[in-house]
Amino acid sequence: MALPAAAQESLAGRIKHTDPSKYHLGHSHASAGDIACERLLRSSDMTTNLYFIDRCQIMPGGGVGHHFHNHCEEMFVIFDGEAQFTINGRTSLLKGPAGAPCRMGHSHAIYNPTNKPVQFMNINVSAVKGKYDAFNLGDARVGVPLDPIPVFMTMQLNKTVFQPPLGGHRRPSPPNEVEDDPHNLLRPVEGYLGGQGTVQYRRCLHPEVFLTNWSYVDHLFLPPGTSEGRHLHTGVEEVYYVMHGNGEVQVNEETAAIRNGDVVPVLLDQVHAFRNNGSEGLELMIIGIATQKWVLDTQEVK
């Protein structure tokens, strides 16, 4: 498999930085109001089927209009505030940080009903490398009835940590095991992937959620002085997004600083590790995309 052209750049060059001064204002899929976005990653940046990652602000009264993708899966994520998410014509208000994945062939939209901008990310993975499609419904989803409880899949990114029941301790689930806790909370993990200290981890979305080779979304919180150990994946590429804090990343023999809003692509067979060398928590969202469905592998590297 040929490496993307971006793989020839230095690690520091491959890391993309969120920069609101580069946002472009516009409408999306016949939305009612504006959304301002910057494309951080493109299909050419990965060998697997990531199509794009956009980092945006949804302006008050703005959003993404109701539409379908029949060759792509998409997920909207908000990092603050609240927004109205629509999947298949049913709408609920979600409070950030949260997201809602949408499978291929299902309609989706988002709308900001508040008077403040909402920090937003759009992640798109295609069924066929480099192929994109969209069918607009011409519906901005303004003033629609709301379901008090969503009737679609959602993902929470809050920092609530699971507390084991009194009188016993439940071992944290390993990264590839389906979580049996219905609240899917962060769990403390000592020496995560051979790293230092106790971190907090959860798998927010599992391979069962997706029809494409999009495999998972993980949430990892590294307190100061802790790390995720050196490891690699032969069948999965990952994108790390820094939700909060700063630290450093190592990919193969290169090391670079990372900060809030950075996106770090990790290609197949690249040894990588993350360390919090700052004074506050380093919070990461991790997107895993496999070479083929159900391929999941993690190899620790000494």
DSSP states along 109-170: EEE--SSS-EEEEEEEEESSTT----EE------S----SS-SS--EE---PBP-PPTT--P
**What's the CATH number where 247 sits?**
2.60.120.10
Q: How many CB atoms lie within 10 A of CB 235?
A: 16
Domain that holds residue 36: 7-156
- Do 104 and 196 lie in a common domain? no
Domain boundary among 156, 175, 197: 156
- Do 121 and 260 lie in a common domain? no
pLDDT-derived band at 159 (thresholds 50, 70, 90) equals: confident
Is position 53 within any domain? Answer: yes
CA 103 to chain centre: 15
- Do 85 and 143 lie in a common domain? yes
Is position 193 within any domain? Answer: yes
Is position 169 within any domain? Answer: no
When pLDDT is averaged across residues 199-208 and rounded to a whole number, the result is 97
Is position 196 within any domain? Answer: yes
Asked if residues 6 and 265 have their Cβ atoms less than 8 Å apart, the reply is: yes
Please tell me the predicted confidence (pLDDT) of residue 247.
98
Is position 18 within any domain? Answer: yes
DSSP β-bridge partners for residue 84: 93, 111
- Do 145 and 244 lie in a common domain? no
Condensed to tens digits (0 to 9), the pLDDT of residues 79-128 reads 999 999 999 999 999 999 999 999 999 999 999 999 999 999 999 999 99
Q: Round to whole Å and give the CA distance between 214 and 292.
A: 9
Given a cut of 70, whether residue 7 has pLDDT beyond it is: no
Q: Report the percentage of the chain scoring pLDDT > 70.
A: 91
- Do 135 and 41 lie in a common domain? yes
The number of folded domains in the chain is 2
- Do 147 and 211 lie in a common domain? no
Given a cut of 60, whether residue 176 has pLDDT beyond it is: no
Is position 164 within any domain? Answer: no
Q: Round to whole Å and give the CA distance between 210 and 226.
A: 31
Domain boundary among 156, 171, 197: 156
pLDDT-derived band at 167 (thresholds 50, 70, 90) equals: low
Please tell me the predicted confidence (pLDDT) of residue 174.
46
Please tell me the predicted confidence (pLDDT) of residue 178.
40
- Do 256 and 216 lie in a common domain? yes
Domain boundary among 115, 140, 156: 156
Can you give the pTM of this predicted structure?
A: 0.92
- Do 92 and 137 lie in a common domain? yes
Taking Cα atoms as reference points, which of 222, 219, 226, 228 lies closest to residue 192? 228
- Do 89 and 145 lie in a common domain? yes
Q: Round to whole Å and give the CA distance between 215 and 36.
A: 28
Is position 172 within any domain? Answer: no
Is position 179 within any domain? Answer: no
